[in-house]
Amino acid sequence: MGARSTTAERIIARLASRAQGIVTRRELLEAGVTRRQVQRRVEKGMLIPEFPGVYRVGHRAPSVEARYMAAVKACGDGAVLAGLAAAHLWGLVRGPAPPPEILVTTKRRVEGVIVRRARRLDRRDRTTHRQIPVTTVARTLVDIASRLDDDALARACHEAQVRHRVTPAQVEAALARKPNAPGAGRLRRILRGDAPVALSELERRFLALLRDAGLPLPETNRRQGAHWVDCRWPEHRLTVELDSYRYHHTRHAWEQDRERERAARARGDEFRRYTWADVDGRAGATVAEVAALLAARGPQASSRNPPR
């Protein structure tokens, strides 16, 4: 009896280690654990039901990943995490974890799970992240395009590029595989930089300073070569990057910042970098510097974007 119990524990541990601590009844039975062994562990709290036939193993404080994995497994073979839940898993959206949202290709209903049905899901639009079957970053952007405002969608696109090196071409390819996707037009405008958006409160504050001073507003969050640029005045050949400590304190971010500066100078732009201290504490000096650069490097300040 003891040997059989030990064997069952090893099987459960092995299966759980591959899937965020989540196992299904079917997986356990197929691996050699008996129905009685499963039932006893449920009764003792060693297998904690998440959904019918889906269990969390050995811990009572589930992670977001465990909850998402359990929802995927509850929806059967071929199911993937999708929508805003996938965007949260990829780090594309802010805030509390959305409820599990699962994309399936067969009819399925699971209480506590948002289930969306697709006739088919191209293999190029599915992957695994943190052990969880999920839509790719590009497909996730397509799926959430109609559910976010312009600023939030632009921020998601920015995170996709910075965190996962996803390119506009990859997103366009995912769009082509989902014709008539809601929000496709907005997503394309943001990818091309045609929608005026601000990704952060620092950007919004900086633009407000320019507007209040009667200065021309820059293009914001447009792709230039391999990088997204916070603010650029093309006719003045001036690029400004806005750096908050929250997003620029890692070594990776530091390297990316240096690359963006080199790229700006390579295309002939004057380059400036401003922080919260420059925008809030030294607002007057910052506005004066930008005004001087614009005056020295091109059309007069009144030629574009009148104050609003």
Residue 230 has phi, psi (to 5 degrees) of -60, -55
Rounded CA-CA distance 101/80 in Å is 9
Residue 71 has phi, psi (to 5 degrees) of -65, -40
Domains and their CATH numbers in the chain: 2-60 (1.10.10), 65-192 (no CATH), 201-303 (3.40.960.10)
Q: Give the count of alpha carbons within 13 A of 241, CB side only.
A: 26
Could you tell me the CA-to-CA distances from 125 to 65, 159, 205 in Å, in that order? 20, 18, 37
Distance linking the first and last C-alpha atoms of the chain:
79
Predicted confidence pLDDT, tens digits, the chain (308 residues): 566 678 989 999 999 999 999 999 999 999 999 999 999 999 999 999 999 999 999 876 679 999 999 999 999 999 999 999 999 999 999 899 999 999 999 888 999 999 999 988 999 999 999 999 999 999 999 999 999 998 899 889 988 987 898 988 999 999 999 988 999 999 998 887 766 666 678 888 999 999 999 999 998 878 777 777 889 999 999 999 998 655 544 555 557 777 888 988 999 999 999 999 999 999 999 999 999 999 998 764 444 444 33
Q: Is 239 helix (H, G, I), strand (E, B) or coil?
A: strand
**What's the pTM?**
0.73
Say if residues 300 and 306 touch (Cβ distance below 8 Å): no
138, amino acid identity:
A
